[in-house]
Structure 1
Amino acid sequence: MSDYVTLREPYAVSGQQRDADFLGMYLFLGAEGMMFGALFCLAFAYRTVHPQASALAARHMQLWIATANTAILLTSSLFVALAVHAARNGARRVTAAMLGVALALGLAFLGLKGVEYGIDYRDGLMPVIGHPAAVREGPAGLFIDLYFVVTALHALHLTIGLFLLAWTAAVVLARRKRIPAQAVVVEMTGLYWHFVDVVWVFVFPIFYLARG
């Protein structure tokens, strides 16, 4: 069975190189997960201490947009998984096509997020800019601030993921990365994208479903 890597120094066998690739990615994603985990723990603790204020803040968030974006991201992860499967089977064009669909879905997520932020600005929810709404006064305001910190950080990671998807699709289509011999490149991009997806799966209930 192929290890989907092109052997390079200092590795003696391809399996060793593949294990090192995955270990490096897991360590990186673990560090990123700790950062998001700390923010989630803070938000959950705040919900526990101020349940009514958190529910009030959550009721001002756009649940319908968040629900649509959740479906979009889950679907994009499906296409990334299909891209990895295609890469392992040497289907170059199918791999690039699946990554392209995931890229389009990711852009749709950002577009809806932009619409949501526009509504938040109109409603006076954004910190610093705009005319603050009454809900920003008191404990509810801090929960809203946490929401903006976490969702903006997630959007940054998703944007990085979009660049990775575009780059991976381009190098596979241009044969700069050979598949299945170098399918590990697609696998690494897929792992990062799935991480972004998993983070959102936590964002959605912690903030949007706090309305009680």
Structure 2
Amino acid sequence: MTKSKAIKHEALPDPFSDEYSRTVFGFWVYLLTDFMMFATIFAVYAVLHKNTFGGPGPRELFDLPMVLNQTWILLVATFFVGLGGASAHRNSRRAAITYFVFSFLLGVIFLWLQGCDMARLIEQGATWKSNGFLSSYYTLIGTFDVHIIFGLLWTIVLIFPVMKRGLDIVSVRRLTCLRMFWQFLNIVWIFIFSVVYLIGVAE
């Protein structure tokens, strides 16, 4: 067996190995706890979303076309993350780096649009302290944005070693967890888009 073939074989983790399974299972447990946290914040929003105290509500404040653009960007970013994770498992270093870089750039664009949207609301006087509705809204969106920032930083931390040293079993396992994290955020955002924005504007 040549050296290149040996490296290629080493870079493909066995999904049934104990270490790989423990890592993925442990990360699933973390995502479950994160999901419970988001569920709690969603419950708070459900209770407070009508407490506007006479101020503007979701229909008056939300810019649905802007949010729809954010949704498409996040969906495409998550799609690229999935392709990047699959490329890493196939030991395709260049493709994995390319897809994760694309997802990173789209994540930055998503975060920038979120910042613009929040700045627009604040300029209209709709701040976190205005009423119960806005307090719960900013808490939910802010928590999600913190997760996006963490995902972007995590992408940088994992991709630079791959650029310098290539793929190995450890890096592929870590990129698998990163892929799971972005896919989890995509699911959470679908809930936010449906429950907060679509239903909010329709009410």
Normalised to the residue count of structure 1, the TM-score between the two structures is 0.81
Match of 2:6 in 1: none
Match of 1:124 in 2: 125
- Code of the residue aligned with 2:28 in structure 1: it is Y
RMSD of aligned residue pairs (Cα, Å): 2.7
Match of 2:5 in 1: none
- Code of the residue aligned with 1:127 in structure 2: it is W
Match of 2:97 in 1: 96
Query: 2:136, 2:109 → 1: CA distance?
Result: 24
Match of 2:143 in 1: 153
Q: Provide Cα deviations, 1:89-147, integer angstroms capped at 9, x if missing partner.
A: 1110110110000000000011101111110111110124xxxxxxx4xxxx3112111
Query: 2:166, 2:94 → 1: CA distance?
Result: 13
Match of 1:57 in 2: 57
Match of 2:3 in 1: none
Query: 2:162, 2:136 → 1: CA distance?
Result: 39
Comparing 194-203 with 98-107, greater Cα deviation is found at: 194-203
Match of 1:196 in 2: 185
Equivalent position to 2:34, from 32, 37, 40? 32
Aligned residues: 192
Do structure 1's residue 178 and structure 2's residue 171 form an aligned pair? no
Q: Is the 8 A contact 1:4 1:182 kept in 2?
A: no
Deviation at 1:3, TM superposition (A): 9.0
Match of 1:142 in 2: 132
- Code of the residue aligned with 1:165 in structure 2: it is T
Q: 1:87 to 1:176 in 2, by over 3 A?
A: closer
Q: Is the 8 A contact 1:80 1:190 kept in 2?
A: yes
Deviation at 1:66, TM superposition (A): 1.2
Deviation at 1:14, TM superposition (A): 6.8
Secondary structure of 1:183's counterpart equals: helix
Match of 2:196 in 1: 207
Normalised to the residue count of structure 2, the TM-score between the two structures is 0.85
- Code of the residue aligned with 1:99 in structure 2: it is F
Q: 1:125 to 1:184 in 2, by over 3 A?
A: same
Do structure 1's residue 87 and structure 2's residue 88 form an aligned pair? yes
Query: 1:39, 1:53 → 2: CA distance?
Result: 20
- Code of the residue aligned with 1:57 in structure 2: it is G
Uncovered stretches (5+) of structure 2, i.e. residues with no partner:
1-8
Uncovered stretches (5+) of structure 1, i.e. residues with no partner:
7-12, 129-135
- Code of the residue aligned with 2:135 in structure 1: it is D
Comparing 192-201 with 77-86, greater Cα deviation is found at: 192-201
- Code of the residue aligned with 1:25 in structure 2: it is F
Query: 1:46, 1:148 → 2: CA distance?
Result: 12
